[in-house]
Homo-oligomer: A and B are copies of this chain.
Amino acid sequence: MEPQKVLHDHNLKRTGCREGIISLIMEEGQPLSENEIRDRLDGNFDRTTFYRSFKTLQESKIIHKIVVDNQLVKYALDNSLSKKRDHAHFYCEECSSVRCLDSVPVEIPAMPEGFTVWETEMIIKGLCDKCAISS
């Protein structure tokens, strides 16, 4: 789908920054960080604009945020077609890439008495397929 249509369908104005973010993540097919996006995007947008665009796109469930450890923040497209919420994420410690593991549903484990589960997040760390070959 085209970025402009995605925006329109969510009642969001189409702006260069939003369109750029969406199309870059679409092209890449992998979660990208703010810096990776800014570096590849022409049209120099202010950092504030980026943060607000990310926020808006998240609120509209167009993208979702993935945080690895503390500081590494990546954004990925929400697969609204297949609606796979709460999938696991893979972080490669070699190349620092992040992959959405749509095929890996997160098992909600049996919880102790009295706990209610609303959401789960799972990060699996290791070596990705590409780095496994090249090492």
Contact with B along A106-121 (1 / 0, CB 8 A): 1111111111111111
Copies in the complex: 2
Quick check: A110 and B104 within 8 Å, CB to CB?
A: yes
Q: Does A81 belong to the interface (CB within 8 Å)?
A: no
CB neighbours (8 Å) of A37 from chain B are none
Quick check: A118 and B125 within 8 Å, CB to CB?
A: yes
Q: Which of A9-17, A41-49, A126-134 contacts B (4 or more CB under 8 A)?
A: A126-134
CB neighbours (8 Å) of A24 from chain B are none
A-B contacts, 8 of them at CB < 8 A, read: A70-B70, A101-B109, A104-B109, A111-B124, A112-B129, A116-B126, A119-B125, A121-B124
